[in-house]
Amino acid sequence: MVNPQALIMNIISIQSQVAYGHVGNSAAVFAMQMHGIDVVAVPTTLLSNRPGYPTLRGRAVDAELLADLLLGIEERGAIDAAQVIVTGYLGSADNAMVVADFVARAKAKNPSLSYCCDPVIGDRDRGLFVHADIPPLVRDLLCPLADIVTPNHFEFEWLSGAKATTIDQLIKAARAFMARGTVVVTSAELSDTPSGEIESVAVERAGAWRVRTPRLPISPNGTGDLFAALLAAARVGGSNTSDALSHAASAIFAVLERTADRGTEEMRIVESAAQLVNPERKFECIAITS
């Protein structure tokens, strides 16, 4: 159980925003707020809805506006008050550079600040789904600044340049990719992952952990955004890596189970509010010896 009242907690969350549905900040902010976290939410896109619907309105935020918004929250003391910065979908290569500059500046100003980078560049079904100049910037500018990265399996292999079909390959590639900090690979499908299950794996220099949950017959958008938010919320609340991983996986499963029961395209995040903090079904992490 995560204690949402342990301290005054602040997260800066920089990612997409939609008017309809639950992706990006429109998924992450509510989940973090349910953990007692004060979220400074900065949009990289303003869209009517996620891609995948018959129509899509809105656009990426201009880099100049994004930089101005980030400067504005800095002037209000958001950097000094924050424990974590979370970034997700960036919208454009120019925005990626603006965000990298902000994160570097913020970490220099507040050395205790942690940075969680959710790459949001692709998935196994679609491959890379962002403009071709964004993924190299995520890899070369943002990931080196990160204390935590949360790629899905496809994104991890692309970013690391290594095929990871076994747990040993994944751990080796993760430690080569990040000499410090934490790599959390979500939606991992490895050679020893049981049929009908899916897992997330956290790797650090000193240890590694995996957690498995049943595979549900749905794959709504925004699950990675929600997972990163839940992981960051747990870490800010004082959980160690294995407990944070267990919490994020358990809460995500609760949301997806509710969504599958309802048969909706969008995640039932608000309906699952209580389970975001205290999921009824707890999936424990297994320590990996390697």
For Cα atoms 90, 93, 95, give the angle at the middle one, nearest 5 degrees. 50
Helix, coil or strand: residue 9: strand
Half-sphere exposure (Cβ direction) of 259: Cα atoms closer than 13 Å: 24
For position 57, what pLDDT does the model report?
A: 98
CB 116 within 8 A of CB 241: no
Q: How far is the C-alpha of 190 from the C-alpha of 156, rounded, in Å?
A: 13
CB 213 within 8 A of CB 236: no
Q: Residue ranges of the alpha helices (H) in the chain?
A: 25-33, 63-75, 78-81, 93-109, 134-137, 153-160, 167-177, 223-236, 241-262, 273-277
Model confidence pTM above 0.75: yes
For position 290, what pLDDT does the model report?
A: 65
Q: How far is the C-alpha of 64 from the C-alpha of 67, rounded, in Å?
A: 5
For position 9, what pLDDT does the model report?
A: 84
Count how many residues are written for the chain.
290
- Second-level CATH architecture of 9-287: 3-Layer(aba) Sandwich (3.40)
For position 1, what pLDDT does the model report?
A: 46
Q: Which residue has the tokens 């900040």?
A: 25
* Count of other CB atoms within 10 angstroms of residue 285: 22
Report the amino acid identity of residue 188: A
For position 3, what pLDDT does the model report?
A: 43
For position 4, what pLDDT does the model report?
A: 42
Report the amino acid identity of residue 5: Q
Q: How far is the C-alpha of 160 from the C-alpha of 182, rounded, in Å?
A: 14
**What residue segments make up the domains of the chain, in order of their start?**
9-287
Residues of the chain with pLDDT under 70: 1-7, 290
pLDDT tens digit sequence for 98-133: 999 999 999 999 999 999 999 999 999 999 999 999
